Structure 1
Amino acid sequence: MNAPKPLRKLGSRLAYNAISLGIKRALPELRDGYEPFKDADVLNSSYMNYGYLDAQFEAEPLELPEIIDPSRTCIQLYHHVATQTDLVGKDVLEVGCGRGGGASWVAGLGPRRMVGVDLSPVAIDFCRRVHARENLGFMVGDACDLPLDDNEFDVVVNVESSHCYPSMPGFLSEVRRVLRPGGMFAWADVRFDDQRVELEQAFATSGFEFVSHHEITDNVVAALDEVAPMRQPYIKDMVPAPLRPMVRSALALPGTPVYDALASGRLRYFCKLVRRPPDDQVWIDYPFDFSAEDQFDPNRGKEMRRQRRTWQWVDRYFRWRFEQPR
């Protein structure tokens, strides 16, 4: 997230390929009669976001197959984001689908067609092996250069992925291009406070109509706390030892730099819903959230803050890494 923009895509591709390759090696080899979508370890390895927990889900839990109940909080995050808009009978795209668990869940919520796109060929190979739904397909693609036609989808979903992209305006432009007029974009991701002005500017100038915005940081931290005791042994069993620190950090387990930043409020998790205007007028009155400017001046010391934060994270990661039991 703190890397220079030109390196974000390369870094995210290498990280996703490494994690997905490690998981793939842990899977049973294809054989006659083997059905990976009935393997609990395989299925649950495809849900790897931070998760979401709130009072409504506690009072009215989602009805999940027992096999994927360990991934409940991750599924709740997708459910919370995707169901901000009607999905029934729609053509839906997820950009940054990772290992496909979220796309598979959304495909079961009634869309006519669900497509997952990810930068990592290894992740897409995993998705095609594991997730079997008639209305679900996967393809390799760049979020800033989607291999899809104009006006192809009614809904686009993007969860916990855009912080890796080299250009948020470029990504939003592609989302707008593939959406039909009147189509909806459901987005959720993390940002540091001094990245919020840049984020809001990207949305405000994207040509989307504002529908809703809310912060879910506390809900995400609550989910991380709930699943931590279960994820530690799961990672030990499923992930090769050299990749475990990377996976722990990617899943923001307590004690990792990502978890600490979320828990302290330095890193915040937001959720938005925006619409491509039905008549595609040139200018959209999008309410720009200037509240971030009350805390940071984006034109003063931005590069210094980025460099300092990057070195702090590198230092903290290696300190934490070498303190872990082998």
Structure 2
Amino acid sequence: MLQCCSCDAVYTNDDRYVSMLDRREQFVHPSEWNRKEAEIRDYSEISHSLALSGIGRFATFLNYGYVPRGNEQHAVIEPDDAWNRNSVKLLLETVGRTAIRERQVIDIGCGRGGNIAALSKYFKPLSIVGLDICPANIAYCNAKSRGGESLYLVGDAENIPFADESFDVVLNIESAHAYPNRSRFYEEVYRIMRVGGVFLYTELMLGDQVAQNIRLLEEAGLSVIRNQDVTSNVLLSCDESAKQRTGTQGIASNAKASTNIGDINEFIALPGSKKYEEMKAGTRQYRMMNLVKR
């Protein structure tokens, strides 16, 4: 056990990870904590199913991916990865022209570490922290990590265990939809960013939530410098990935067989799922944003 000398928060150590979850939150915000525990269970089951499938060591991304479609492109690097190419392309488009080299970066909702591996490969940041609420994800990242500039911790996006102005770049890809209190998350992002820092953010939002989320971001103190609808690019990637993800070793097949997750097709937005059809109809939008702290 670890106890913070400043705020008395108590954290736990495991031989596979350090947990920086402040357990006092379950008493202060019990309903929100229950939602977070449900997310932990779901992602733990996905991690388990990928391990059983035999492809777990290759499945470092769970995002929808991105395929170019003639609209404006922002990436300055093209991925050379054959495996997970669309997912890497999504990251590179999100980064765009943002300076990463020799800067301190945190990936909130880092999942299975794919974004961090790609950032290290293509941009050479000074340091990267991966933060995720699911211990199974962080245990996986630590098992694959060779040390060096990356640090992986279990932690809560709404109660980030770092001091004010600790990072130059904050990354959050397809994760914020699971956070019960969006305002607290945006405020935490602002708090841990240095002045001039950049928030690289993607999320699949209901159409009527886009303006509301932008308002919350601005109320937290962040200025929007890019706000792009890339739904058509994400749909193309979902189409391309469908065969791989529904194959005998794909996440859809194995999650159905080995976990209690309700609708894995919905989770990964396979063609025909409600989420996919809502993107196609325009009632959900995949937004790619860059914001700064001035």
TM-score, structure 1 length as denominator? 0.72
Q: Could you say which residue in structure 1 is the equivalent of 2:182? A: 168
| Alignment of 1:63 onto 2:90 | no
| Alignment of 1:269 onto 2:257 | no
Determine the C-alpha separation between the residues in 2 that align with 1:150 and 1:25. 40
Gaps of 5+ in 2: 1-30
Q: Could you say which residue in structure 1 is the equivalent of 2:276? A: 259
Determine the C-alpha separation between the residues in 1 that align with 2:210 and 2:33. 19
Query: Which structure 1 residue ranges, 4+ long, deviate > 4 Å from structure 2?
Result: 4-7, 236-240
SS at match of 2:271: coil
Deviations 1:103-136 (A, max 9, x none): 2111222101011100001111011112335211
Fraction of identical pairs, as percent: 27
Q: Which of 90, 93, 118 in structure 2 is aligned with 1:77?
A: 90
Q: Could you say which residue in structure 2 is the equivalent of 1:286? A: none
Q: Could you say which residue in structure 2 is the equivalent of 1:249? A: 266
SS at match of 1:211: strand
Q: Which of 33, 36, 39 in structure 2 is aligned with 1:9?
A: 36
What amino acid sits opposite 1:201 in the alignment? Answer: R
| Residues 129-208 of structure 1 mapped to structure 2, 5 A cutoff | 129-132=143-146, 134-208=148-222
Q: Which of 76, 81, 99 in structure 2 is aligned with 1:86?
A: 99
Q: Could you say which residue in structure 1 is the equivalent of 2:46? A: 19
Q: Could you say which residue in structure 2 is the equivalent of 1:35? A: none
CA RMSD of aligned residues (A): 2.4
Gaps of 5+ in 1: 28-40, 278-326
Determine the C-alpha separation between the residues in 2 that align with 1:208 and 1:93. 17
Determine the C-alpha separation between the residues in 2 that align with 1:271 and 1:5. 26
SS at match of 1:125: helix
Deviations 1:20-57 (A, max 9, x none): 23324556xxxxxxxxxxxxx33431111000011569
Determine the C-alpha separation between the residues in 1 that align with 2:153 and 2:64. 24
What amino acid sits opposite 2:46 in the alignment? Answer: I
Q: Could you say which residue in structure 1 is the equivalent of 2:8? A: none
| Alignment of 1:213 onto 2:227 | yes
- Of residues 255-264 and 138-147 in structure 1, the stretch that sits farther from structure 2 once superposed is 255-264
Q: Which of 225, 232, 237 in structure 1 is aligned with 2:239?
A: 225
Rg (Cα) greater in structure: 1
Determine the C-alpha separation between the residues in 2 that align with 1:196 and 1:184. 20
For the Cα contact (< 8 Å) 1:95–1:158, is it kept in 2? yes
SS at match of 1:88: coil
Determine the C-alpha separation between the residues in 2 that align with 1:210 and 1:193. 18
Greater share of residues in strand: 2
Q: 1:43 to 1:242 in 2, by over 3 A?
A: closer
Determine the C-alpha separation between the residues in 2 that align with 1:43 and 1:247. 20
Aligned residues: 256
SS at match of 2:84: helix
Q: 1:6 to 1:267 in 2, by over 3 A?
A: farther
Structure 1 residue 100, shift from structure 2 partner? 1.1
For the Cα contact (< 8 Å) 2:78–2:89, is it kept in 1? no
Determine the C-alpha separation between the residues in 1 that align with 2:210 and 2:59. 31
Structure 1 residue 77, shift from structure 2 partner? 0.7
For the Cα contact (< 8 Å) 1:249–1:258, is it kept in 2? yes
SS at match of 2:201: strand
Determine the C-alpha separation between the residues in 1 that align with 2:132 and 2:176. 12
TM-score, structure 2 length as denominator? 0.80
Deviations 1:171-199 (A, max 9, x none): 01111111111111010001112222321
